Amino acid sequence: MTRIPLPLLKFPSLLLTASLFVLPFFVNSQISDDRSILLELKKQWDNPPDIDNWNDTSSPCDWPEINCTGKAVTVLLLSNKNIVNPIPSILCNLKNLTHIDLSYNYIPNTFPTVLYNCTSLQYLDLSQNYFVGEIPGDIDRLSTHLKFLNLGANNFSGDVPAAIGRMPELQTLQLYQNEFNGTFSENIANLSNLEVLTLAYNELFVPSPIPEKFGNLRNLKYLWMTSANLIGGIPESFANLENLEHLDLAMNFLTGSIPDSIFQFKNLEFLYLFHNNFSGGIPRLVNSTNLVEIDLAMNNLTGPIPEGFGNLLNLTFLSLFSNQLTGEIPVKIGQIPSLKYFKIWKNQLNGTLPPELGHNSPLLAFEASDNAFTGQLPQNLCSKGALLGVVVFNNFLSGEIPKSLGNCSSLTTVQLHNNSFSGAVPEGLWTATNLTSLLLSGNSFSGELPSRLAWNLTRLQIDGNKFLGEIPTGVSTWSNLIVFQASNNQFSGRIPEELTSLSQINSILLDGNQLSGEIPGNIIEWNFLNTLNLSRNRISGKIPASLGNLPSLNYLDLSQNHFLGQIPAQLGHLRLNALNLSSNQLSGKIPNEFDNLAYEYSFLNNSDLCADTLILDLPSCSRITSGNSEKLSTINLAAIIAAVAIFLVAILLAFLLVRDYRKKKLTRDLSAWKLTSFYKLDFTEESILSSLVDTNLIGSGGSGKVYRVPINHMGSAVAVKRIWNSKNLDQKLEKEFLAEVEILGTIRHANIVKLLCCISSENSKLLVYEYMENQSLDKWLHRRKTKEAGNNEYAYTTKANEMIDVYSFGVVLLELVTGQEPNCGGNDKSLAEWAWKHYADGNMIEDALDEEIKEPSNMEVMTRVFKLGLICTGTLPSTRPTMKEVVQVLRQYSPSQSNGESRKGNEKVAAPLLGILNHKRSRRVSSEDEESFGCGV
């Protein structure tokens, strides 16, 4: 023990007096030193506005960003402070600093090794910044006391170094969402105190198995390795991870069966293994009774759903869709008191649905489409009043819709199409407050349409049923309806003029009914109508000339009715992709715009129609009626006919010889080709392969060429993308081809081009798409040949597809106002990233706009469109607006918005939407996926 000097013992009052004077001196000195360091730090960071409160007159311990222990600065909280400069070395002059949080800033450069000098550091968060380069191989020189290290959401590359495993006190290691293109060290397994490990969203990792040694991390509670390019199976050593609470290995390439041990972890609450290649059955013995969420979707799992799932009383989310599961749903699953999301679509399940489903829990989403279920819908799906969606299409369900769904105001989507339901639709379902889509096609529903529908209903599909009666005049109140599909029912009576007042309508399909009378001549507001099909009815009278004034009409089918008189010349002003007026009683001359082979089958069975030319199979309108016209003599006529015949025979012989040669050559080559179709085709691989010539070339890019190939005499064509032409197939291109086939081959979306088929051989692979006649928006924007470029986004749920559409549309908006191309950002940045950085750096928006169209009168609109493009390209899909919101904002600035009341209404939408930019762009990555309907429309 250290002894107190004798003179001081003799004078205790002197010792006390000295203490009272010396201690405040040291305290004040410490505060002064730390304040000077912090003010110098602020200066070297160019005085960020968010820390303006730092000054030389107050104690740093009173600043919100600072915590002190014993008047010494120990904690620095500078998250989201718009710091854009590197970390200065002066930071570590704060000798007592234990906690540094610099997340959500814009700090650049390589890993800040100056932090090696912060010897007391226990907590370091550098996530969500702009750090680049490799993590240093001597990163273990950081404080030996370090327990928390977060380097996530940066741009670190290379390997995760072995030195990481030489930081024995680490309890949390987060390295998610970087640009690592090497491997992660198995030395991580040496971190015996590790409780949290995140390596997710590092898609550039070299394909690697999960190290067997990871089973040594016995204290691990949270493991997040989504999309980390993992291969192989789950190691048997994982049975040692008994403390796991959260296990996420989703979106990898893992194979084999799911180990039985996974469902034995007593503390496990969240299990995400979706989007892998797991096979075999789901383990039958389930003892992880604390499970809250299970997601095993998008694998190759077989066998039944385990009965043990019905004992998981805390389960809120169960997702098993897109597997090959068989058998019936365990009845006890319907009795789970906490179940909110139940997603089992696209399996081979059968039997009846659990009758108590929804009765005992606040069920939000029930998705069971594409199975073989029979019987009725459970009667109490919405007993807790929380149900958002029922998606059970493509089954064998029957009976009536439960009356309880008619009292379920929370519903947003009901998709019952392609079953055997019957009876009347509950009255309350038509008008459910929040309903946006009601899909009942392909059943045996009956009854009449109501005068009123849900105020926000956008899609009503009731085709292929037994609905009858007239279309109500109250249809004018269906103001938000976009798709009205009521084909093949028993509707009768006239088409009410009120139907033409639907300002948002895009598609009207009323074919195959018993409608009569005339089409209303006064079309009130069909400005967005794209498709009108009234064929196979009893409609009469003249075709209204007002149809020719619809600016968006592309598809018009009035065939098999009783129309009379001439075809209005105004129809020729339309840009129609398809027109069918066949089987009517039309007469007179067809409009000149239709006198070509593109409309060869548009006017069949109208005996009194004629044309100016003989291109179509119609009589000539200029028949010679005068008997005084000179006639060719029989001899001259015979001579001319003979000469023409000889010429045609010669041409025909030459054509046959050439065709025979080509056919033989093509036949030899065809054996090497394989065709995989996704739709019913009206062409063969022979017709495609023979047309891949330079005259049909319309574009080229880094991975191939694009051809426009005619497929029939109607003017139809397909677009053929030749991915590569090399015997040494590049693995990246192989993955690109397979990914494009897998995704586009299964998508059925009105706004996504259809992949009709793929044709492949050893040396070449072809993708055949439907051809979009107006070419690419890129060509109109940038006046060049189409190049392959774009922005890719991947999402787990299909609701995210809409968000991807919004993102792509946002890129288009930015192209429009900046005049730039999607990949113009430089330094491997996209246009969206460049635009966001331009805005975040405080630059004037006007500086980013296209000089060719930038005028004072356009400045406000261009600025708003630029901002809207930024909002649409937000990093997180959940932060983006819907396309409906985007359209409403754009309409505010449309020339047609001259009505003050209408414009004012749109401003109510635009103001909060554009106001999002008042807040800093969020870049946080969550391990939890957004909830959405897997089969949403």
**pLDDT tens digits along 533-553:** 999 999 999 999 999 999 999
**Residues 810 and 712 placed together within one structural domain of the fold:** no
| Burial classification of residue 64, based on how many CB atoms lie within 10 Å of its CB (0-12 exposed, 13-18 middle, 19 or more buried) | exposed
Cα–Cα distance for residue pair 508/499, rounded to 1 Å: 10
Question: So what's the pLDDT on residue 446?
Answer: 97
Helix (H, G, I), strand (E, B) or coil at 634: helix
Of residues 914 and 297, more confidently modeled: 297
pLDDT tens figures, 203-254: 999 999 999 999 999 999 999 999 999 999 999 999 999 999 999 999 999 9
Question: So what's the pLDDT on residue 629?
Answer: 39
pLDDT tens figures, 689-724: 878 888 888 877 655 788 888 887 667 888 888 875
To the question of whether residue 721 is assigned a binding role by annotation, the answer is yes
| DSSP letter assigned to residue 495 | P
Res 199 pLDDT > 60? yes
Question: The pTM is what?
Answer: 0.66
**Residues 902 and 806 placed together within one structural domain of the fold:** yes
Question: Pick from 342, 316, 338, 329: which is nearest to 384 by CA?
Answer: 338
Kind plus residue range of the DSSP H or E element containing 746: helix 731-746
In sequence order, the β-bridge partners of residue 349 are 327
Res 877 pLDDT > 90? no
CB 461 within 8 A of CB 441: yes
CB 429 within 8 A of CB 451: no
User: For residue 823, is it within any domain?
Assistant: yes
**Residues 774 and 836 placed together within one structural domain of the fold:** no
Q: Which of 206-210, 254-258, 926-930 has the lowest mean pLDDT?
A: 926-930
User: For residue 542, is it within any domain?
Assistant: no
**Residues 697 and 808 placed together within one structural domain of the fold:** no
Rg (CA), the chain: 35
Question: So what's the pLDDT on residue 281?
Answer: 97
Question: So what's the pLDDT on residue 439?
Answer: 97
Question: So what's the pLDDT on residue 824?
Answer: 66
Question: So what's the pLDDT on residue 580?
Answer: 96
Question: So what's the pLDDT on residue 817?
Answer: 87
Res 504 pLDDT > 80? yes
Res 863 pLDDT > 80? yes
Q: What is the mean pLDDT of residues 428-450?
A: 96
Cα–Cα distance for residue pair 560/893, rounded to 1 Å: 42
pLDDT band at 937 (very low <50, low <70, confident <90, very high): very low
**Residues 806 and 901 placed together within one structural domain of the fold:** yes
pLDDT tens figures, 422-438: 999 999 999 999 999 99
Of residues 772 and 57, more confidently modeled: 57
**Residues 771 and 826 placed together within one structural domain of the fold:** no
User: For residue 234, is it within any domain?
Assistant: no
Of residues 121 and 849, more confidently modeled: 121
**Residues 695 and 766 placed together within one structural domain of the fold:** yes
User: For residue 869, is it within any domain?
Assistant: yes
CB 831 within 8 A of CB 825: yes
User: For residue 63, is it within any domain?
Assistant: no
pLDDT band at 368 (very low <50, low <70, confident <90, very high): very high
Res 767 pLDDT > 90? no
For the chain, the domain total comes to 2
Res 768 pLDDT > 70? yes
Question: Pick from 535, 461, 524: which is nearest to 498 by CA?
Answer: 524
Kind plus residue range of the DSSP H or E element containing 196: strand 196-198
pLDDT band at 659 (very low <50, low <70, confident <90, very high): low
Indicate the residue among 724, 754, 782 that finishes a domain: 782
Joined together, the tokens standing for residue 188 give: 């991580």
Cα–Cα distance for residue pair 108/91, rounded to 1 Å: 16
pLDDT band at 847 (very low <50, low <70, confident <90, very high): confident
Res 191 pLDDT > 70? yes
User: For residue 807, is it within any domain?
Assistant: yes
Res 733 pLDDT > 70? no
Indicate the residue among 782, 814, 846 that finishes a domain: 782
**Residues 806 and 776 placed together within one structural domain of the fold:** no
Question: So what's the pLDDT on residue 316?
Answer: 97
682 Cβ contact partners less than 8 Å away, ≥ 6 residues apart: 711, 712
Question: So what's the pLDDT on residue 727?
Answer: 47
Of residues 15 and 282, more confidently modeled: 282
Helix (H, G, I), strand (E, B) or coil at 589: strand
CB 768 within 8 A of CB 760: no
Please provide residue 375's backbone torsions phi and psi, each rounded to the nearest 5 degrees: 80, -160
Cα–Cα distance for residue pair 357/354, rounded to 1 Å: 6
Question: So what's the pLDDT on residue 10?
Answer: 35
Indicate the residue among 731, 750, 782 that finishes a domain: 782
pLDDT band at 627 (very low <50, low <70, confident <90, very high): very low
Question: So what's the pLDDT on residue 516?
Answer: 96
Share of residues in the chain with pLDDT > 70 (%): 80
Q: What is the mean pLDDT of residues 58-74?
A: 94
CATH number, domain of 875, equals: 1.10.510.10
CB 830 within 8 A of CB 791: yes
**Residues 772 and 721 placed together within one structural domain of the fold:** yes
Question: So what's the pLDDT on residue 885?
Answer: 78
Q: Which of 148-157, 507-516, 662-671 has the lowest mean pLDDT?
A: 662-671
CB 245 within 8 A of CB 219: no
For the chain, what's the residue count?
937
What's the mean per-residue pLDDT of the chain? Answer: 84
CB 473 within 8 A of CB 498: yes
**Residues 867 and 773 placed together within one structural domain of the fold:** no
Residue-number span of the structural domain to which 768 is assigned: 674-782
**Residues 848 and 888 placed together within one structural domain of the fold:** yes
**Residues 871 and 814 placed together within one structural domain of the fold:** yes
Res 22 pLDDT > 70? no
Question: Pick from 527, 575, 412: which is nearest to 887 by CA?
Answer: 527
User: For residue 727, is it within any domain?
Assistant: yes
User: For residue 458, is it within any domain?
Assistant: no
CATH number, domain of 727, equals: 3.30.200.20
